[in-house]
Amino acid sequence: DAKTTQPNSMESNEEEPVHLPCNHSTISGTDYIHWYRQLPSQGPEYVIHGLTSNVNNRMASLAIAEDRKSSTLILHRATLRDAAVYYCILRGNSGNTPLVFGKGTRLSVIA
Amino acid sequence: EAEVAQSPRYKITEKSQAVAFWCDPISGHATLYWYRQILGQGPELLVQFQDESVVDDSQLPKDRFSAERLKGVDSTLKIQPAELGDSAMYLCASSFSLNQPQHFGDGTRLSIL
């Protein structure tokens, strides 16, 4: 399975933007970059995914490097509710490809 | 509240006992997954169903774990006999089809005494 590397933890002030990095230097051409997050005492929640172009949705933006070896999840205005573990996952799109979770980045949001 | 329903929310039992978890996926979702999450780690896939058929159970400890999805809708995961090392969060997820984003339930936290 293609591997991702994320910082163990990050901290942000409320109402400020947050940039969560992910390195994936061994990404293959058909791997999509998926982000999930897990709030305390809840199951993971899908955030966003992309292949090559930057993506935006109501929850976040995903910025993908031109060489695709890294990506950044951007929360435009962090709230206390965004405190969670954020997982960056590579997933192929052919056949049946599982989600392989690492340890993720634990984001703390300070009021 | 998660759209994927799981019960019970918490389960405490003694080792060597049998335990069962139930999951009701989002209506219309053909793919159903069971994960185990040990404290401090990410979820690990145990078994995946496409409709009523098992697609992947390579990580399921089949000597004690079993899973079924008889009518291709809800699913049950069973452990018999439970061991101390089975203490974990058991998560169910569903997706519309293969490789689509997964929607997770809030899990069952299992504690083995």
pLDDT tens, position by position, A69-109: 999 999 999 999 999 999 999 998 776 788 999 999 999 99
Of B56, B102, B107, the CB nearest to A96: B56
* Choice between A97 and B111, residue whose per-residue pLDDT is larger: B111
Of B40, B50, B107, the CB nearest to A43: B107
* Choice between B25 and A95, residue whose per-residue pLDDT is larger: B25
Amino acid in position B29 = H
Q: How confident is the model at residue B70 (pLDDT cuts 50, 70, 90)?
A: confident
Looking at residue A97, its pLDDT comes to 82
- The residue ranges of DSSP E strands in chain A, in sequence order, are 9-13, 18-23, 32-38, 45-50, 55-56, 61-64, 70-75, 84-91, 105-110
End-to-end CA distance of chain A: 38
C-alpha closest to that of A3 among A88, A78, A68, A86: A88
- Whole-number percent of chain B with pLDDT over 70: 98
C-alpha closest to that of A64 among B38, A92, B28, A55: A55
What are the pLDDT digits (tens) for A37-79? Answer: 999 999 999 999 999 999 999 999 999 999 999 999 999 999 9
Highest mean pLDDT among A26-30, A91-95, B11-15: B11-15
- pLDDT > 90? residue A8: yes
Put simply, whether A104 touches B (Cβ < 8 Å) is yes
| pLDDT (mean) for B46-52 | 95
What's the CA gap between A86 and A102, in Å, rounded? Answer: 10
